[in-house]
């Protein structure tokens, strides 16, 4: 479902070219769960961005659902994302002008997966935000915003969920609640999970764990 073949990723840093990924090869099959761990700045978020087609590899090939992202134009990448991918960003990327319910319904509509406010409300209940539907993101705590971002990623029943520190801002109880939700989706809907996490408990629940170090993946 997700394939990286000898992927390099280099960006322009203040002191010239900065190599972030250097020959990353990874295959995640449908329904698998894989965690990526590694030190801060190792390139974990960059790896997820490449898998989502939000960034482009400098060399090698990235494929999603058998389709190559390398050389694909922006509209093809947008279609692939809308069809297959849910993304939980480290910074949430909620829309400040929209209420919690609207943060679920509007992006789903824009991706061509319209959902009713009732469906959105039941997703809010699943993530423990049932009383927050009419609140705006700035009226919610960091952990609540994170749960809303996770609910948004689930709205379209994505084939692939890419999540960057999905339990990062949550206390233990809420973190466990969210990981339970992630793995329930993984089992019930066959969702392919690729997670970046510092949460050892979450990583251990995944079928495979890799460490990203010096631009390369090694089995953890
Ligand atoms: N577009 C860019 N331009 C310049 N530097 C970048 C760019 N994108 C990422 N970097 C740098 O690449 C490195 C890897 O960043 P990335 O966010 O992927 O790491 P990470 O492993 O997810 O870190 P963390 O665990 O702290 O979130 C960092 O040093 C970052 O500053």
The domain segmentation of the chain, as residue ranges, is 2-219
13 lines ligand 1 (CB under 6 A): yes
List, for residues 181-214, the tens digit of each pLDDT value: 889 888 988 999 999 999 988 999 999 999 999 9
pLDDT: which is higher, 178 or 80: 80
Share of the chain above pLDDT 90, in %: 75
Q: Which of 15, 19, 45 to mutate to test the pocket of ligand 1 (most atoms within 8 A of CB)?
A: 45
Residue 9 has pLDDT above 90, yes or no: yes
Closest residue (by CA) to atom 31 of ligand 1? Answer: 41
**Angstrom distance (rounded) from CA 176 to CA 193:** 16
Closest residue (by CA) to atom 7 of ligand 1? Answer: 11
87-106 b/e (C-beta count within 10 Å ≥ 16 → b): bbbbebebeeeebbbbbbbb
**Angstrom distance (rounded) from CA 143 to CA 116:** 25
Q: Please provide the average confidence, as pLDDT, over all residues in the chain.
A: 93
Residue 138's pLDDT is 96
11 lines ligand 1 (CB under 6 A): yes
Phi first, then psi: give them for residue 16, nearest 5 degrees. 100, -165
Distance 197 CA to ligand 1 centre (A): 15
List, for residues 97-153, the tens digit of each pLDDT value: 999 999 999 999 988 889 999 999 999 998 889 999 999 999 999 889 989 999 999
Ligand 1 atom closest to the Cα of residue 47 is 18
Q: Which of 24, 42, 52, 203 to mutate to test the pocket of ligand 1 (most atoms within 8 A of CB)?
A: 42
> What is the pLDDT confidence band of residue 217, given thresholds at 50, 70 and 90?
very high
Residue 169's pLDDT is 79
ipTM above 0.85, yes or no: yes
Domain 2-219, classified CATH 3.40.50.300, yes or no: yes
Residue 92 has pLDDT above 90, yes or no: no
Ligand 1 atom closest to the Cα of residue 49 is 18
DSSP strand E in the chain: where? 2-13, 16-28, 33-37, 59-64, 67-68, 85-88, 160-164, 192-196, 208-213, 216-219
pTM, entire model: 0.91
48 lines ligand 1 (CB under 6 A): no
Stretch among 22-26, 49-53, 148-152 having the lowest mean pLDDT: 148-152
Rounded to 5°, the CA angle 14-18-21 comes to: 150
């Amino acid at each position: 479902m997700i394939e990286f073949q000898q992927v390099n990723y280099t960006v322009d840093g203040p002191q010239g070219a900065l190599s972030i990924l250097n020959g990353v090869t990874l295959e995640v099959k449908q329904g698998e769960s894989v965690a990526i761990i590694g030190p801060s700045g190792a390139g974990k978020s960059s790896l997820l961005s490449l898998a989502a087609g939000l960034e482009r590899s400098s060399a090698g090939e990235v494929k999603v659902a058998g389709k190559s992202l390398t050389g694909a134009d922006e509209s093809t990448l947008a279609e692939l994302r809308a069809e297959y991918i849910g993304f939980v960003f480290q910074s949430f990327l909620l829309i400040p002008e929209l209420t919690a319910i609207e943060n679920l319904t509007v992006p789903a509509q824009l991706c061509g997966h319209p959902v009713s406010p009732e469906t959105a409300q039941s997703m809010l209940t699943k993530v423990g935000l049932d009383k927050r539907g009419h609140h705006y993101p700035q009226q919610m705590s960091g952990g609540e915003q994170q749960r809303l971002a996770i609910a948004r990623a689930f709205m379209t029943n994505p084939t692939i969920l890419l999540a960057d520190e999905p339990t990062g801002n949550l206390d233990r109880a809420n973190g466990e609640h969210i990981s339970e939700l992630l793995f329930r989706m993984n089992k019930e809907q066959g969702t392919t999970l690729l997670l970046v996490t510092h949460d050892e408990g979450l990583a251990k629940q995944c079928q495979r764990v890799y460490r990203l170090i010096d631009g390369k993946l090694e089995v953890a």
